Each structure stands twice: as structure tokens, then as C-alpha cells.
Structure 1
Amino acid sequence: MSSYKIQKSLDLTGTSCAGPIGELSGVMDEIGVGEAVEVILGDEATKKDVVAWVTKKGYKVVSETKEGNKFKLIIQK
């Protein structure tokens, strides 16, 4: 398991479509390589969109958990 420092936690459960990716994109631009962001998402469709975006950008999902109907991802730059 790689070590990383979570720089920010984003609760994006109230947003959908391009909202979460727009917010996440801004935060990812601010952090350094090897640092990570925790993202909480409210539905499966948004999670799939975010994971696709992360892959396209060359970032890495280092942890994915489901708590109730929410998804928590740790994304490393």
C-alpha cells in the first residue's frame, strides 16, 4: 500500500453531473504529486463519472468504500 497524505476532504453528496468533477478538478490542481483528496459522493452514477475522470487524468483511486448510500473515494495525484 502506498503512503499518501489526505490534503482535503470534499463532501459532494449534494451535487451531480459536472459539479463534483469541477470541484475535484480545482482541488487536484492545488495539491502536489503524491498527495490525496478524500471525496464523498451520493450516488453510483456520480462515482462512476468521477472514477472515469480520475483514470483519464492519470490520477489513482487508492481507496474506495461504501457507507450506507454514500461512496468514499481517496484519490491520489
Structure 2
Amino acid sequence: MSTATVDTVRSAPRSALAPVLLTVEEAAVCLRVGRTTCFALIRTGELESLMVGGLRRVPADAPAAYLARRRAEQQAA
């Protein structure tokens, strides 16, 4: 990575960077469900998540992937 790239990343406003990981609460807001429901989806493996240190995080693309699977299931039924 060049110095120019590093300087650009450092100077970019925080709001301009899209999050790579979401908190469980942020994922719940994306899905328009409660925190408890979101944890249930994670526990059953329906919603992808991972541990970062001691924190549970949801990849930013996981809520959309969950919805795509649910839509495909409903269309197949």
C-alpha cells in the first residue's frame, strides 16, 4: 500500500466509510426485528456472525443474504 493510499484512508471522514461489520443491534435495525430475534437468528445459524475478541459482530452483507435466502424459500414453497 502506498503512502498516498494510507493518507487518503486516514483523512477520509469516518461517515464516508461503509461499515464492514455491524453490531447485533445494528443488524436488528437493518432487518427491522428486535435484538432478541436477531440473536435467535444467529444462534440457529440463519444469520451469519463472528466473534471479534469478545464481541459478536455481523458482516454487513449478512442481513441481505439472510433476506435473499428467505425470499427464495418463500418463492419455492
What TM-score comes out, normalization by structure 1 length? 0.28
| Relative contact order higher in (CA < 8 Å, ≥ 6 apart) | 1
Bigger Rg over Cα: 2
What TM-score comes out, normalization by structure 2 length? 0.28
Compare the two structures and name the one with the higher strand fraction.
1
Compare the two structures and name the one with the higher helix fraction.
2
